[in-house]
Chain A
Amino acid sequence: MPVPNQRTPIPNRGLVQRILWLVLVLGVAATGCAASEASPSDVAGAVEAAAPATVRPIIPTQTPSAEPTALPPIPVPSSEAPGEEPSEEPAPSPTASAEPEPVAPTEPALDFSGTALPPAPIGFEAVAGVEQSGPQPVSLTIGGINVVDADILPVGVNPDQTFEVPPADQVGWYRFGPAPGDEGSAVLAAHIAFDGVDGVFRRLADVEVGAIVTVAFDDGSTKSYRVESLNEYLKDQLPEELFARTGDPQIALITCGGDFNRQLSSYESNVVAVAVPL
């Protein structure tokens, strides 16, 4: 058995090998049942981890969990990793709003104050469900392009992970993202035309900068926005930022445009109008 308080971090090779194997097994087991090809990555907030070609990960504007303050490493008196110490630069400014109290880099003693987090929920009953707790957007009006009180439906994705676009006379609000009014980019998409019938966003490409966009909610409230940009992107270059969950509130209005491919019965581009709160 290893001797406690021994200075080297590897006092007992046999035991450590079992532990390392356990860690390895846990790492493999944690990913072995994944239905997708996701694999663990090394960095917290690793939303940019390798993903299949059809999945374009969100680049978050803030990290999903507390961004730690990087410390200069405390020298470990062993030969484990001699040559890989980083430069002796001071700890960078933390970017997350909630974080542990930073440790003074020159102080050898570690400061454990301020590390407490809310306790882990105990019991299945305590696991918070995700409810759409806020008011739901129900209708959309855009000035100047014949969009008047168009019905908004909450939508998700199709089995192929494409945006679940509703029928031609409705607008789909991406329910996994922010609602209009929340931080981040609320996405509303509608057809330009479907099966020969004009969609709600038939004339989105003609919207003027400055046009007023109004969203009505199921509690009777409304929010108004002003179009600030209009752009066209090839379909596979649609910016991921349009689906950002954090950042300044905006609405992204998306439809199709550009050249129409007769063989595929689809458009080559997306037309996007971004509106910001009045």
Chain B
Amino acid sequence: MRRLLTALAALAIASIAFAMPASAQGSARIHLIHGIPGIDVDVEANGANVFEGFSFGDTQDLSAFAGATLEGVKVKAAGTDTVAIDAGDVTLPAAGNFTLIAHLDASGTPTIGVFENDTSSPAAGQGRITVRHTAAAPAVDILANGAVAFANVPNGAGGGADLPAGTISASVVPAGASEPVVIGPADLPITEGTNLIVYAVGSLDDGSLTVLTESITGLSSAPAAVNTGNSPVESNGFGFAAAGIAAAAMLAVTAVPAVARVRR
């Protein structure tokens, strides 16, 4: 904590500008997550504290401010004027699905990471897992069911994969190594129609490595087709020989009522 505070002198990201398509004025989903263990912060914008006592894991919905510019954004140690992150003027995107996360960079300096979230639909029966390295640690390999799923992922980067719904066993190791397991192993659910986003957070050096997660739901796809028959049946009584003795026998013993087909 003390080490963290001494690293808090003027720094990091000055102004966060988003490479947004200029014409995309529409709805946006913007979340802000506090991803630094061990420090509560106040967030200042437009000259006043807008969040106070923001703790590790806390999440704020900034979607209402899509397209707005927050001026002079500062993240300060709670109850103090000590600035952890001086972000300058932040113009939020006008559209799209984004997560802003305050996190430690590879050297342990606080910063604000910006990630755009993939909200396209996985194929029917599949979900998505997204992993993001936002911890003070060197590059890592992320293993799923024992095999490397994402290799050599540095701080600030991430990746995603669509997988059949189910459970995978996930763990994180230093890039190129098989041990030590720095996070996990743990079973993660792959939920149909959901993007599970996993952030590695904290610091390797002080043993605070852990994960934060968020989920984006409602991304389901319908099955490609419903194929519920591969052999013909007699229809309309036109003497078409139905395949199969069972069908013929059933017709012989059952008085099929002449029912008018109801159509909308």
CB-CB under 8 A for A126 and B213, given A54-B224, A199-B229, A270-B226: yes
Residues of A bordering B, CB below 8 Å: 1-2, 4-12, 15-16, 19-20, 22-27, 29-36, 38-47, 49-52, 54-58, 60, 63-71, 73-74, 76, 80-81, 84-86, 99-103, 109-110, 112, 115-130, 146, 156-157, 160-163, 165, 174, 176-177, 189-199, 201-202, 205-206, 208-209, 229-232, 235-236, 238, 240, 242-243, 245, 254-257, 260, 262, 265-267, 270
Q: Is B39 an interface residue (CB 8 A)?
A: no
**B223 and A29 form a contact (CB under 8 A):** no
Among B205-242, those with CB < 8 Å from A are 210-214, 216-233
Contacts of B25 in A (CB 8 A): 70, 73, 84-86
Q: Is the C-beta of B165 less than 8 angstroms from some C-beta in chain A? A: yes
Let me know if B86 is at the binding interface, CB within 8 A.
Answer: yes
Q: A5-B89, A118-B59 are in contact. List 13 more A-B contacts (CB 8 A).
A: A1-B14, A10-B17, A38-B121, A56-B222, A58-B193, A64-B119, A65-B29, A65-B217, A66-B29, A68-B29, A68-B66, A196-B246, A206-B256
> Cβ of B147 < 8 Å from any Cβ of A?
no
Q: In the bound complex, what is the Cα–Cα distance between A238 and B225 (angstroms)?
A: 8
Which of A25, A74, A99, A118 is the most central at the interface, judged by chain B CB atoms within 10 Å of its CB?
A: A74
A56 to chain B, nearest CB (A): 5
Q: Does B122 contact A (CB under 8 A)?
A: yes
Q: What is the CA–CA distance of A192 and B155 in the complex, to the nearest angstrom? A: 55
Cβ-defined contact, B64 with A102, below 8 A:
yes
**Closest CB in chain B relative to A160 CB, distance in Å:** 7
Which of B29, B60, B187 has the most chain A CB within a 10 Å cutoff? B29
Q: Do B68 and A120 touch (CB < 8 A)?
A: no
**Contact call B26/A42, Cβ cutoff below 8 A:** yes
B137 at the interface (CB under 8 A from A): no
Chain A residue numbers with a CB within 8 Å of B257 are 206
Q: Which 10 A-B pairs have the closest CB atoms?
A: A64-B218, A196-B244, A124-B186, A68-B63, A256-B229, A157-B125, A2-B14, A44-B29, A38-B120, A33-B159
